[in-house]
Structure 1
Amino acid sequence: MKRYKLTTLLCLCLSTASWALSNDTEQPIYIDSDNQELDIQNNVVTFTGNVILRQGSIDIRADKVVVTRPGGQEGKETIDAYGNPATFHQVMDDGKPIDGAAKKMRYETATEFLKMTEEAVLIQEGSEIKGNVISYRIDQQKLVAESGKKQRVTTILQPNQLNNDKK
């Protein structure tokens, strides 16, 4: 019975868009970890130890992933990933991969908001953005990178991407 409740809660918690920029959110989510803990009263599932989350082309690797559904409301999930660093990989609709890493990542499904903090980096086709905090509004395709103490935001653009934008 406990296994049934756990599986049901996981399916409900993870059935909405998470971390996706394409039709990956229509795919099932697979989570492998060394351990998992379920708090039914608070609608929280915690995965620890070599966590691998896969959904379509999305691949997230972390030391710990916490999925929360406030008030049990579907579509309002928050996914927090922690690692040294936590990483993600996804193939975009145009076939180009995007990779990211940070010590903390947070995705809010209701607002399609991704926030990466502490040594955050996004890389696509050799170009990269580094900052203490990188926030991305997926639905609006708006990105903001912020510096930290004694640190600046660094952006490296590859010439081939600049030339492709001119075409």
Structure 2
Amino acid sequence: MKHFKLTTLLCLLLSSPTWALSNDTEQPIYINSDNQELDIQNNIVTFTGNVILRQGSIDIRADKVVVTRPSGQEGKETIDAYGAPATFHQLMDNGKPIDGAAKKMRYETSTEFLKMTDDAILIQEGSEIQGKVISYKIDEQKLVAESGKKKRVTTILQPNQLNQNKK
């Protein structure tokens, strides 16, 4: 789980040239929950009830978090968070926060891929992106936001961010 770079996407997503706290992914991961269930044979740990996952300035809150380690291989974990919504928060190196929420979040540590599904939203300095699905390939810095059948992708950029990028 040392490669857990969940919110690196956030710092690149919304036109602000800031970066996540550089040492977040080097910090230990702490998970607190009301309940924990371990399936040793299948390498699955399920945390339920008021789940709080912290790594450095990363803070994820969910009703349920499932950590799967296929074949027991460290560094190949899949982390699924579920909530109404599941949320996350992280500080950037400049001290400004970035926040996101979705009913489901999935992060694959080995491929550095994050997918937020169902009412996904990312917010930084008042600007936001909303969609049915927001996918981000962190190492390639490629983001895709998809609409649902009855909604379109919505992006709201605050004037102060647009003006900062012109400088």
TM-score higher than 0.5: yes
2:15 corresponds in structure 1 to none
Between the aligned partners of 1:140 and 1:39, the Cα distance in structure 2 is 33
2:122 corresponds in structure 1 to 122
CA deviation map 1:109-134 (0-9, x unaligned): 00111100000000000000000000
Between the aligned partners of 1:16 and 1:155, the Cα distance in structure 2 is 29
One-letter amino acid of the counterpart of residue 126, structure 2: G
Between the aligned partners of 2:89 and 2:102, the Cα distance in structure 1 is 12
Between the aligned partners of 2:91 and 2:3, the Cα distance in structure 1 is 19
Question: Could you say what secondary structure the match of 2:140 adopts?
Answer: coil
Q: Which runs of 5+ in 2 are unaligned?
A: 9-21
2:154 corresponds in structure 1 to 154
CA deviation map 1:52-84 (0-9, x unaligned): 000000000000000000111111100000000
1:73 corresponds in structure 2 to 73
Compared with structure 1, are the counterparts of its residues 98 and 163 closer, same or farther at alpha carbon in structure 2 (3 Å cutoff)? same
One-letter amino acid of the counterpart of residue 60, structure 2: I
Between the aligned partners of 1:93 and 1:138, the Cα distance in structure 2 is 18
**1:37-116 matches, cutoff 5 A:** 37-116=37-116
The percentage of aligned residue pairs carrying the same residue is 84
CA deviation map 1:143-163 (0-9, x unaligned): 110000111000000000000
1:5 corresponds in structure 2 to none
Question: Could you say what secondary structure the match of 2:160 adopts?
Answer: helix
Between the aligned partners of 2:108 and 2:95, the Cα distance in structure 1 is 25
Compared with structure 1, are the counterparts of its residues 54 and 123 closer, same or farther at alpha carbon in structure 2 (3 Å cutoff)? same
Question: Could you say what secondary structure the match of 2:89 adopts?
Answer: strand
- Point out the more displaced range, 88-97 or 130-139: 88-97
User: Could you tell me how far 1:93 is from its partner in structure 2?
Assistant: 3.0
2:6 corresponds in structure 1 to 19
Aligned length: 154
User: Could you tell me how far 1:18 is from its partner in structure 2?
Assistant: 4.1
User: Could you tell me how far 1:96 is from its partner in structure 2?
Assistant: 2.5
Could you list the structure 1 runs, at least 4 aligned residues long, displaced by more than 6 angstroms after superposition.
Answer: none
Higher-Rg structure is 1
1:35 corresponds in structure 2 to 35
Compared with structure 1, are the counterparts of its residues 75 and 39 closer, same or farther at alpha carbon in structure 2 (3 Å cutoff)? same
One-letter amino acid of the counterpart of residue 28, structure 2: P
Q: Which runs of 5+ in 1 are unaligned?
A: 1-13
Higher relative contact order at CA 8 Å, sep ≥6: structure 1 or structure 2?
Answer: 2
Over the aligned positions, Cα root-mean-square deviation in angstroms equals 1.1
